C-alpha cells in the first residue's frame, strides 16, 4: 500500500470513528516535494463544507512554537536575548515569589510549574495579565517539566518588549510574509467564515467559529491583545512552508531565519537532568503521538484543537496534521487523536512508501 493510500485509510477510519469530522495531512521533504491530503467535512453534518487543501484551522498551541518560540530563538541568534537572562530583565513587573529565579531557558523548555489560564474565564485581559505576573509556582523553576500556557504567555511579553512591537506584527514581518504564509493570521475575521473550520460548541460562547478557541486568548483578543500561547489560524500549505525552512536548517529561498546552531538546539534534549525530553521551543521525542519511528531528534508541537506539526531534520521530512477533534464537544482525553497522530507518524517517519527522496 502506498503512502497516500495508507494515510487515506487511517483518516477515513478516524472520521468513521468520530475522532474528528475532517482533517488535512500535509508532508514535505527537504527536496521541496510535498503532498497535502484533505479529508472529510467541517462538521459531522454530511452537507457541511468539504475540507480542502487550503481550509483554515485554529492551530491552538502550535502558536507557542510558530511564531512565539521561533521569535525568541531569532532574538537568541541575534544576541539580543540569552537563555541565562532573567525574565525580570525584560518584564520587571513580574513579581511572584520566584521573580529572581525565572530564566528565559525555563520559558523555552516549559520547566516552570504553571497553572491553568483557561479556567480564568471570568477575568478581563487585565485580570489575566495580573494573574500571569503574580501567581506563585508550586515548585521551583527548573525542577519540573510541566506543559502549560504560562511559559509561552510570558515569552510573548519578552519578545514584544525586546522588539518594541506586537506579536502579530512580528509574526507577519519575520515569518508569515517572507515565507508566503498568506492564509496564516491572528485575525481570522479577515477571511470568510466559510473557509474556516469551527472548533467547539460551548455553553459560554455557543459555536466557536472564526474566533480563537483558547479561552484566555479569546478574552485578550476581545480587548485587542494578541498572546503568545494561542491564537494563530493557518493552513497545511502555509505550515509546510515553515517546516521546509526548518528542513533547510534555517535558510530558505536565500533568506536566513535561524542559524544551524539554533536549529540543532530545537532537536536537542534540554532537560536530561529531569529524565524527560524537550527541545528548545519545541517538544521532543514523544512516541505517544509521533509514533515509534521518531528519534531523539524529532521535534514538534501539538494543539488542543487537534493539530500537530512534526519536523525531523536528520531524516529530511516534516509533516502537519490539522483537525477539529474537539467538535462539537471536547472528548474526555486525547487518546483517540494521539492514536491517529501516532499512526500517521509511523507511516511518514518509517520511510516506507512515503514521498520519494525523504531520507
Percentage with pLDDT > 70 across the chain: 97
- pLDDT given for residue 353 in this prediction: 46
Q: What is the pLDDT of residues 13-24, one digit of tens each?
A: 999 999 999 999
**Nearest-10 crossing angle of helices 125-134, 150-163:** 100
Measure Cα distances from 78 to 64, 72, 256, 280, 353 in Å: 20, 10, 12, 16, 40
- pLDDT given for residue 116 in this prediction: 73
Top CATH class, 69-164: mainly alpha
CA distance 24 to 56: 10
pLDDT for 354 beyond 90? no
Measure Cα distances from 255 to 34, 66, 71 in Å: 21, 18, 15
- pLDDT given for residue 120 in this prediction: 64
Q: Is 250 left (phi over 0), alpha (psi -120 to 50) or beta?
A: left
Strands (DSSP E) contained in 51-156 are 57-58
pLDDT for 121 beyond 90? no
Stretch 281-300: mean pLDDT, rounded? 98
Q: What is the pLDDT of residues 314-352, one digit of tens each?
A: 999 999 999 999 999 999 999 999 999 999 999 999 975
- Listed in sequence order, the DSSP H helices in the chain are 3-16, 70-77, 104-109, 125-134, 150-163, 167-171, 215-222, 236-247, 260-266, 287-290, 335-349
Stretch 192-216: mean pLDDT, rounded? 97
- The domain at 3-64+168-349 falls in which architecture? 3-Layer(aba) Sandwich (3.40)
Stretch 42-71: mean pLDDT, rounded? 98
Q: Is 290 helix (H, G, I), strand (E, B) or coil?
A: helix
Q: Is the pTM of this model over 0.85?
A: yes
Q: What residue segments make up the domains of the chain, in order of their start?
A: 3-64+168-349, 69-164
Q: 119 falls in which pLDDT band (50, 70, 90)?
A: low
Q: What's the grid cell of residue 132?
A: 500571569
- pLDDT given for residue 359 in this prediction: 35
- Listed in sequence order, the DSSP H helices in 176-330 are 215-222, 236-247, 260-266, 287-290
Q: Which carries the bigger pLDDT value, residue 305 or residue 353?
A: 305
pLDDT for 356 beyond 70? no
Q: What's the grid cell of residue 261?
A: 546552531
- pLDDT given for residue 355 in this prediction: 58
Q: What's the grid cell of residue 180?
A: 508566503
Q: What is the pLDDT of residues 174-186, one digit of tens each?
A: 999 999 999 999 9
Q: Work out the mean pLDDT of the chain and round it to a whole number.
A: 95
- pLDDT given for residue 167 in this prediction: 98
Amino acid at each position: 500500500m502506498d503512502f497516500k493510500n495508507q494515510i487515506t485509510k487511517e483518516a477515513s477510519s478516524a472520521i468513521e470513528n468520530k475522532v474528528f469530522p475532517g482533517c488535512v495531512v500535509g508532508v514535505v521533504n527537504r527536496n521541496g516535494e510535498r503532498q497535502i491530503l484533505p479529508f472529510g467535512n467541517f462538521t459531522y453534518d454530511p452537507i457541511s463544507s468539504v475540507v480542502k487543501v487550503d481550509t483554515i484551522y485554529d492551530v491552538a498551541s502550535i502558536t507557542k512554537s510558530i511564531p512565539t518560540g521561533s521569535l525568541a530563538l531569532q532574538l537568541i541568534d541575534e544576541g539580543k536575548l540569552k537563555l541565562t537572562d532573567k525574565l525580570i530583565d525584560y518584564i520587571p513587573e513580574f513579581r511572584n515569589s520566584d521573580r529572581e529565579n525565572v530564566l528565559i531557558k525555563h520559558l523555552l523548555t516549559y520547566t516552570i510549574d504553571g497553572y491553568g489560564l483557561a479556567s480564568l474565564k471570568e477575568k478581563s485581559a487585565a485580570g489575566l495579565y495580573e494573574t500571569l505576573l503574580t501567581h506563585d509556582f508550586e515548585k521551583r523553576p527548573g525542577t519540573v517539566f510541566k506543559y502549560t500556557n504560562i511559559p509561552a504567555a510570558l515569552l510573548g511579553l519578552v519578545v514584544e518588549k525586546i522588539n518594541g512591537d506586537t506579536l502579530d506584527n512580528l509574526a507577519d514581518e519575520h515569518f508569515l510574509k517572507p515565507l508566503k504564509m498568506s492564509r496564516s493570521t491572528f485575525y481570522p475575521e479577515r477571511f470568510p467564515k466559510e473557509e474556516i473550520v469551527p472548533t467547539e460548541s460551548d455553553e459560554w460562547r455557543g459555536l466557536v467559529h472564526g474566533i480563537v478557541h483558547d479561552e484566555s486568548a479569546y478574552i485578550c483578543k476581545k480587548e485587542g491583545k494578541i498572546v503568545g500561547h494561542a491564537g494563530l489560524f493557518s493552513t497545511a500549505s502555509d505550515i509546510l512552508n515553515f517546516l521546509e525552512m526548518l528542513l533547510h536548517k534555517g535558510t530558505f529561498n536565500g533568506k536566513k531565519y535561524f542559524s544551524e546552531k539554533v536549529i540543532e538546539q530545537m532537536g536537542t534534549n534540554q532537560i536530561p537532568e529531569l529524565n524527560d525530553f524537550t527541545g528548545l521551543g519545541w517538544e521532543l521525542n514523544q512516541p505517544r503521538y509521533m509514533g515509534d519511528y521518531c528519534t531523539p531528534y524529532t521535534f514538534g508541537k501539538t494543539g488542543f484543537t487537534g493539530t500537530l506539526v512534526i519536523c525531523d531534520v536528520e531524516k529530511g521530512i516534516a509533516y502537519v496534521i490539522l483537525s477539529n477533534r474537539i467538535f462539537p464537544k471536547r472528548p474526555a482525553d486525547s487518546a483517540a487523536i494521539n492514536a491517529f497522530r501516532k499512526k500517521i507518524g509511523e507511516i511518514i517517519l518509517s520511510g516506507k512508501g512515503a514521498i520519494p527522496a525523504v531520507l
